[in-house]
Amino acid sequence: MIVVNEIRKKFHDIEAVSNISTEIHEGQVFGLVGTNGAGKSTFLRILAGVLKPDSGTVTIDDEVVFENEAVKRSIFFIADEQYYFPNVTAKGMCDYYALMYPEFDRDKFIKLAKTFGLNGEHKINTFSKGMKRQVSMLLGICANTKYLFCDETFDGLDPVMRQAVKSMLAEEIINREFTPVIASHNMRELEDICDHVGLLHKGGILFTRELDDMKQHIHKIQCVIKEQEVELELLRELKVLKSVRLGSLLTITVRGSREEIRRKIEAKNPLFYELLPLTLEEIFISETEGVGYDIKRFVF
Amino acid sequence: MIVLNYQDRRPIYEQVVEKFQILIIKGVLKPDEQMPSVRKLAIELSLNPNTIQRAFSVLEAQGYIYSIKGRGNFVSPQNDFLLERKKEVYKRFEEVVVQALNIGFDKTVLVECVNNTAERGVL
């Protein structure tokens, strides 16, 4: 289990991470999403023990991560920008990681590289961005570590590869004790593979929640209600995050369960109404809007 | 075996549940036939295995499937779930009929609609 307790990290006068506390349990697939510059990468680098937090603690299986070799053996970290030795081949990297990670499965790497059409004898610096990502992902999977931290997970991967990566992760989750933490802006992919999601904004964590639970507790309603007073009454009764009106059509984003919302609307005798769950992308937008991260500020 | 609709906004496990309900009701999956394994489905659909597991738990609670420890999940032989489902659909149909009559539909038009739809056959 990963326990993060009130960590802060400053770079000069910029506070990249300000007071994050959270827990990630074994067997969870944790998706990390957040606005640009929210501190996702810094957070992952602290989790992986690359950076030391200014204050607060990070423990993995009850041990502090920073400069702790034993714990680090159970972690594989795929950074946003991957670093490979100059002129190294994919096989060379495999040999290197096999030295670091006792559980590294070389045969599996060679087999997977072949399926992915990556030539192990070729130099990695001749590879495209997406291919480099693939190499990192394969190394991360084959290291057989209990934890995998992956930044910008689906960045640069084509749709087929994104499916393949998700399938690979699924297989590992079934086969062994495996807890991946994956950061990405690709909400669609995260929705498929994650069961928990943490949303970061401005160095803090807005919330962490179970994905299905989250989807069942936020809805978009489109409705037409004849009398304005009744409409206002409805808006007061519901937990409204956002409401937009276009002519007589009212579109509102609301917290609450489907049944509860349905009951309240039907009591108002609407001419028409439709209740839609939100996609993760829409949840992201409405939640960050709630804290002032609004697209209207960027468009004129 | 099943295909997910990425435009569908519902939680994914709900979609998985619905797709298997249809397969079972339509008899594509026969009574006592083994369900595909969680592992196979997760890898095939690129989904979190826990999502599939959750869908299977719901299907089991609704009586569509039963599980044997160490052997996997199987389609239930009884028709209880079909009966339940029929009751549910019938109730919804009743509601729609009432709504239609309320907004001034003629009874004959509705009967005609039922006949026409039935003639077109089921999916």
In the numeric block, which tokens belong to residue A9?
């990290």
- Domain chopping of chain B, boundaries: 12-75, 80-120
Determine the 3-state secondary structure of A133 from DSSP: helix
Question: Is the same domain home to A61 and A187?
Answer: yes
Q: Which residues lie closer than 8 Å to A156 by C-beta, 6 or more apart?
A: A129, A130, A132, A133
Phi-psi region of A174 (alpha: psi -120 to 50; beta: other; left: phi over 0): alpha
Residue B102: CB atoms within 10 Å:
8
Closest Cβ opposite residue B48 in set A192, A216, A277: A192
Interface contact flag, B38 A174, Cβ < 8 Å: yes
Instruction: For residue A180, give the CATH number of its domain.
Output: 3.40.50.300
The secondary structure element, H or E, covering residue A17 is strand A14-24
The string of pLDDT tens digits covering residues A139-189 is: 999 999 999 999 988 988 999 999 999 999 999 999 999 999 999 999 989
In the numeric block, which tokens belong to residue B1?
């075996």
In chain B (123 residues long), the average pLDDT of successive 10-residue segments reads: 83 92 86 92 92 94 90 84 79 90 89 87 63
How far is it, in rounded angstroms, from Cα A182 to Cα A178?
A: 12
Q: What is the pLDDT of residue A299?
A: 65
Show the domain range for A114: 2-213
Q: Domain B12-75 classified CATH 1.10.10.10?
A: yes
Residue A226: CB atoms within 10 Å:
12
Sheet containing strand A204-210, strands side by side: A75-78, A147-150, A179-183, A30-34, A196-201, A204-210
In the numeric block, which tokens belong to residue B46?
């690129």
Q: Which residues lie closer than 8 Å to A5 by C-beta, 6 or more apart?
A: A21, A56, A57, A58, A59
Question: Is the same domain home to A251 and A203?
Answer: no
Closest-CA distance of chain A to residue B97, Å: 17
Instruction: For residue A267, give the CATH number of its domain.
Output: 3.30.70.120
Domains contained in chain A, number: 2
Question: Is the same domain home to A181 and A284?
Answer: no
Question: Is the same domain home to A103 and A243?
Answer: no
In the predicted model, what is the mean pLDDT of chain A? 90
With a cut of 70, say whether residue A4 has pLDDT above it.
Answer: yes
The string of pLDDT tens digits covering residues B92-111 is: 999 899 888 888 888 999 99
Q: Which residues on chain A place their C-beta less than 8 Å from a C-beta of chain B? A: 27, 29, 163-164, 166-167, 170-171, 173-174, 188, 191-195, 211-212, 215-216, 276-279
Least Cα distance to A91 among A114, A69, A57 occurs for A114
Of A161, A179, A213, the one marking the end of a domain is: A213
Q: Which residues lie closer than 8 Å to B35 by C-beta, 6 or more apart?
A: B20, B29, B56, B65, B72, B73, B74, B75
Predicted complex ipTM: 0.71
A65, A48 contact by CB (below 8 A): yes
Interface contact flag, B49 A174, Cβ < 8 Å: yes
